[in-house]
Structure 1
Amino acid sequence: MELEELKASWSVLNEQLEKSEMLNKRIIKEMITNRTQSAYERLFRYDIWGLILVLVFCLMFPILTFTGQLVMRPLSFVVLEGCLVIGFIMQVFFLSIHIRFDMEKKKICELARLEFVYKLWMKRNHVIGTGIAIVGIIAFLFIEQDRLVAGWELRMVVALFVAAVIAYFQIRFYQKNIRVIEKGLEELKEFEEEPG
């Protein structure tokens, strides 16, 4: 009789342990999903603000130029506006990747592929976007050099230094959040591969 009671209590304890283990796995999976989703949302918000900023400059620049509040040669306008339009197109592209990142509807392998594409194009953007901006600024300075006020060289060096510092922190922000997403997707893939 004692042995039967011991078996019954062991069976109850074993069942409770299994339930507890399943609950712990579900809680851990939810925490990983929330952390990954938060990193994704930070990148999404950042890219939305980037799109708004570039759009404002794209619209403001022609208005200021055509109303006479910003005086420059037509070629300077075309160069700067062209750089802004390219920046706008790049931001729209990044947001098109973000929109497809749906953790509830897509499998982990699809999300990992989207994250890889985003990471790859973000790296290219750091090179291409920075290159376009530098070429645009140098072209503007070359075209408008006779109109610039004395001491513009020092101001430009300071502006480029500030831009470099901002770009450095922006790159770190992107890399940090991309690493969080990568790690979260790797951990979630383990849950997806587990049977049951």
Structure 2
Amino acid sequence: MTKYLKSLARLLLRDYSFYHIYGRYCAGEKPLLTKELRFETIEKKEIDSARDRIIVDQAWYHGQNAHAYACIEGSRIVGLCFFWHGERYKKRNFWPLTDQEAKLVQLFVLPEMRGQGIGKSLIQFATRDMSHRGFKYVYARIWRSNMPSLRAFESAGWDRVATVIEISLRIRNKPFRLELRRIISQERAGQSQSVNR
């Protein structure tokens, strides 16, 4: 029976997506710094000249209406995250943004550096800096089974604000979209009113 259901699903479905949307008011905690690691904003040319090819491959996320942040060990870039907003983000436009909002579109830590809290600290550092740039709220879209990313955002103080499921059928051009939004109390988020985004 399961075999037939899977065959039927492949016949009808073109694609599907199942994401959790996380959000946070821009303030954030100061990241835990060590003598070996530092966090800073970074320019595209610095990413382009990184010694690890896998870091260089992330450089395309940089550019107009983008903000980039790095975790650096010595002179080596070991982690990156990028926020998009404005016209740059409208090309993706998976989640609606206002003028004072941005979306974290990429978080990457070198495989050998994972499991040390770098992702969490990079998220915290970037969120604080986005606040200084005038942004009020930031979002991230995370695949439902990406447990390392889900844990990193939760430990960085972000809340799940929605779950979005999209199903594309072969007989229809526009996907069916289901958004399950959560009401997050701003008291929990360090603010004074509730949000329904």
TM range (shorter): under 0.3
In our comparison, the structure showing a higher alpha carbon Rg is: 1
- With the length of structure 2 as denominator, give the TM-score of the two structures: 0.21
Greater relative CO, 1 or 2 (CA 8 Å, sep 6+): 1
Choose between structure 1 and 2: higher helix proportion.
1
- With the length of structure 1 as denominator, give the TM-score of the two structures: 0.21
Choose between structure 1 and 2: higher strand proportion.
2
